[in-house]
Amino acid sequence: MIEPHLPRITKAVIPAAGLGTRFLPATKATPKEMLPVVDKPAIQYVVEEAVAAGLDDVLMVTGRNKRPLEDHFDRNYELEEALSKKGDRSRLARVQESSDLATMHYVRQGDPRGLGHAVLCAAPHVGREPFAVLLGDDLIDPRDPLLARMIAVSERHGGSVVALMEVAPEQVHLYGCAAVEPTGDADVVRVTGLVEKPEPSDAPSNLAVIGRYVLDPGIFDILRKTEPGRGGEIQLTDALQQLAADEKVGGPVHGVVFQGRRYDTGDRADYLRAIVRLACEREDLGPDFRAWLRRYVTEEM
Ligand code: UTP
The structural domains of the chain, ordered by start, are 11-266 (3.90.550.10)
Asked if residue 72 lies in contact with residue 17, where contact means CB atoms within 8 angstroms, the answer is no
Question: Is residue 178 classed exposed, middle or buried when 0-12, 13-18 and 19+ CB atoms within 10 A define those classes?
Answer: buried
Ligand 1, atom nearest to 267 Cα: 13
Q: Helix, strand, or coil here: 114?
A: coil
pLDDT tens-digit series, residues 182-215: 998 999 999 999 988 888 888 999 999 999 999 9
Q: Which residues contact 259 (CB under 8 A, 6 or more apart)?
A: 144, 165, 166, 187
pLDDT tens-digit series, residues 141-153: 988 989 999 999 9
pTM of the entire structure?
A: 0.94
Q: Which residues contact 231 (CB under 8 A, 6 or more apart)?
A: 114
115 lines ligand 1 (CB under 6 A): yes
Question: Which residue is closest in CA terms to ligand 1's atom 8?
Answer: 18
266 lines ligand 1 (CB under 6 A): yes
Asked if residue 51 lies in contact with residue 102, where contact means CB atoms within 8 angstroms, the answer is yes
CA of 298 to the centre of ligand 1 (A): 37
pLDDT tens-digit series, residues 242-258: 998 877 777 799 999 99
